[in-house]
Structures are given as C-alpha cells and as structure tokens.
Amino acid sequence: MSDCETFYTNLRRILSRVFARWFVLLAAAWFLAPLAGPSPAKEPEPQFTSKEFLEPVKFLASDKLKGRGDGTRELDEAAQYIAKRFKKFGLKPVGDKGTYLQRFKITVGAQMGPNNSVTYQSGATRTTLTPAQDFVPFSFSEAVTVQAPLVFAGYGITAPEFNYDDYKGADAKGKIVLVLRHEPQENDEKSVFAGKQLTTHAEIVNKAINARNHGAVGMISSLRGRAWKTFARPLTRTFRTTPSRSSPPRKLLCPWTSSAFARRWLTCSAS
C-alpha cells in the first residue's frame, strides 16, 4: 500500500472516532436535557400590593372618621367604604336586600330624664347639685335612689396581675365610692401597668363592675376642664355608652361630676 493510501486510511479512522464521540456527547446532552428541567420562568407580578391593604387602614383609622363610634355618621361612612371595596373585589353580597350591609339594633346611649338629683351633706350643711351642670349620670347607671356614705377608692382598680388593689384595706360595702379616671402613672413609661398604654382596668365600666364587686351601691368619677364642659350639656343631650368588652354593672348608681365637687368632697374627708 502506498503512503498516500495509508494516510487517507488513517484519516478516515480518526474522523470516524471523532464523529462517534460527538454523537455520544450530543446524545447524552439530548438525554440529560429533560432531567435538568426547563429554565426558571420569571415570577409573575403580584396581584395585590401593600398599597391595597395600607389605604383602607389609613382611611378607617383617620381623624376624619373620629373613631367610628357606634351610631355615628362616621361609622356609616366606614361601612359604605368597606362595602364598595367588597364590590370592587367581586365578593358576593349576602346582606339585606342583596347588599353588603346588615342592619341591627344597638343601644348607643341614654337620655337624661327630668328627675335626676344628687345631694350631699357635710355636717349640718346640705348641698344640691344641678343636673347637667354639676353632675351627669353614666349611660349605664341604674335608676335607683341611694343614700350612703362617700368613700375615696383611688383609681377604683383591683389588678392582681400587677399586685395592685385600690380597695385593699377599704370598706366599700353599702357605700358610694369616688374614683379617679384612668390609671396610676399613666404618663410614665415605667408604669407597673403598661407604661403609657392604658389597660382594660382604665375603662370606666370595669371600674363600676369592680365597685359593685366590693359591695358599693354607687360610684362617682369626675371630669375636669374642657372634658367636663364638653360632657355637661343640656338635659336633652344623649349620652353615648363607652365601648367595653365587659357588660355594664346592674343595680349601681353611677354619675359623673365636675372635678370641683370631687375636690370639695376629698377636702371634707381629709379634714
């Protein structure tokens, strides 16, 4: 065999081996490709953003709605706002007459009648308070006539979890207790209660329940300054209830009074 034939024979052998290797590599790549899976697809854009949740919170908690008190125009406005959002997101209405709203009755306050009176006696001196000027009944006050001694009960709080009890050592049975509003150290971040955050013990309904549980027949609390001027209005005023997780106490006389009379009573008891 000539040198030329030998060269071409060797070339064919080399090329056949190269092509065979390429075929093996291509076949392996084709076989392994499904095992590797498709390339990661781009994540779809979220259907909702934080804006969808933040806007309702900002509106419902805004000063414009004034706390959305029961029976107020602002609460109705909040209800209509929520109903519109339900409709926007395609929720099926199951309320009254095919709407998103359901109406129900709720007691939101009480109107003071003409026969309310408060008279206190210190020694031989008797003083009669003027309704809606010197005192205003709580909306949950019982319609009863009570004549009893007056005792001071601090903030009117019994809180075992904070090792605090204004009634410790006090005899409130059969008496009317005078209590302060809110909680002790309410402006102190290191308060034994919850710092500057008021707890449920500050709620006036809970104070009334606690007074009744200690045998009191009545409870008086006081307001001062602008708070009293706002609260004490003509006899036609409707007094709104204070929202609370607790039920109002029964058989308990509970009026507000001005801080001027509260100070006078405390002065009498200290003298």
CATH 1.10.3720.10, domain 110-270, yes or no: no
Give residue-wise pLDDT tens across range 102-153: 988 876 767 777 888 888 888 888 888 888 788 888 777 777 888 899 899 9
Give residue-wise pLDDT tens across range 196-244: 888 999 998 899 999 999 999 999 888 765 555 554 544 334 444 444 4
Cα–Cα distance for residue pair 119/148, rounded to 1 Å: 11
E strand segments, 63-157: 109-111, 118-122, 125-129, 135-137, 150-152
| Domain coordinates in residue numbering, the chain | 1-34, 50-98, 110-270
Identify the band that residue 9 occupies on the pLDDT scale cut at 50, 70 and 90: low
Q: Given this model, what pLDDT does residue 243 score?
A: 43
Concatenated DSSP letters for 165-202?
ETTTT---TTSEEEE-SS-TTTT-TT-TTBTBS--GGG
Count of all residues that appear for the chain in the document: 271
Indicate whether 74 pLDDT > 60: yes
Paired tokens of 158: 């019994």
Instruction: Let me know: does 259 contact 224? Beta carbons within 8 Å.
Output: yes
Q: Counting beta carbons within 10 angstroms of the beta carbon of residue 110, is it exposed (0 to 12), middle (13 to 18) or buried (19 or more)?
A: middle
Instruction: Let me know: does 112 contact 235? Beta carbons within 8 Å.
Output: yes
Which position has the higher pLDDT, 153 or 268? 153
**Of 58, 61, 62, 79, nearest to 70 (Cα)?**
79
Cβ neighbours of residue 201 closer than 8 Å, sequence gap 6 or more: 155, 157, 159, 183, 193, 207
Which position has the higher pLDDT, 259 or 90? 90
Cα–Cα distance for residue pair 142/69, rounded to 1 Å: 23
Paired tokens of 117: 């009176």
Range name among 20-34, 39-53, 256-270 with the lowest pLDDT average: 20-34
Identify the band that residue 32 occupies on the pLDDT scale cut at 50, 70 and 90: low
